[in-house]
Amino acid sequence: MSDNVLIRVRDLKKYYNGDAIKALDGITTDIVHGEVVVVIGPSGSGKSTFLRSLNLLELPTSGSIEFDGAEITDPKTDINLHRQKMGMVFQHFNLFPHMTVLRNMTLAPIKLLKKPEAEAQEKARELLRRVGLADRAEAYPSQLSGGQKQRIAIVRALCMDPEVMLFDEPTSALDPEMVGEVLEVMKELAQMGMTMVVVTHEMGFAREVASRVIFMDGGQILEEGTPEEVFDHPKCDRLKTFLSKVL
């Protein structure tokens, strides 16, 4: 396996109702260390299914996924061990409402990584400072705006020192004026060299931050390339139609 490939996906399929619904229909791609891959496409194209398959939140019907040299689709692989190295941020923030922000952020590193509490708290506070929320450490999720909650969800994932961050439409549940503050955090992550796979409808973000854009429809990758190739010189008609509606 090439040293630089972090995730290797081969002929990934996810079928429902027998073969009636092909959510994923033969996805093959490599994700390289430090790459920011942005996945775009119409609703129902398989984007989120693909993303959620990368850490087996969706179990594929067939095909293989290698992560960090281990085939995680092999039933003998301890997927929970590998999930610890994959940060995941969803549309909804999934913060524990009865815990402070700091406790939300330190729970997993203390329990799963066995980090000393003081060390986990120090890292969490440093990450909160980085996203402009140092003063919210002792707040509860109900006291935060949607944009603040999503920034907390991102830095909570970073507390686990992940090798890759997976984002499933992280701004789609936010009020428009809060979208920018979350995208700003994601841009900074990209600049720091974090490997990221992002499913999003934010075409401006895709154009500005992606090293590669994947266009999906009907459970397949129909086109991929640099942002310039995909947005300025689309080849397939389906992509051209899609872009005419979203740009």
Residue 117 φ/ψ, nearest 5 degrees: -60, -40
pLDDT at position 247: 85
Question: Which pair of structure tokens corresponds to residue 80?
Answer: 């929970």
CA distance 237 to 138: 51
Residue 190 per-residue DSSP state: H
CA distance 105 to 152: 8
0.85 cut: is pTM over it?
Answer: yes
User: In the beta sheet, which residues pair with residue 14?
Assistant: 24
pLDDT at position 1: 42
Integer CA distances (angstroms), 179 to 83, 98, 173, 214, in order:
27, 25, 9, 22
Alpha-carbon radius of gyration of the chain: 18
- Using an 8 Å Cβ cutoff, are 68 and 4 in contact? no
- Using an 8 Å Cβ cutoff, are 11 and 26 in contact? yes
- Using an 8 Å Cβ cutoff, are 24 and 11 in contact? no
13: phi > 0 → left, psi -120 to 50 → alpha, else beta; which? Answer: beta
pLDDT at position 177: 87
- Using an 8 Å Cβ cutoff, are 13 and 24 in contact? yes
Q: Which one, of 171, 188, 214, 34, lies nearest residue 231 by Cα?
A: 214
pLDDT at position 185: 95
Length of the chain in terms of residues written: 247
Give 10-residue mean pLDDT values along the chain (247 residues): 83 92 96 97 96 94 95 93 93 92 96 96 96 96 95 95 96 91 94 96 95 97 97 97 94
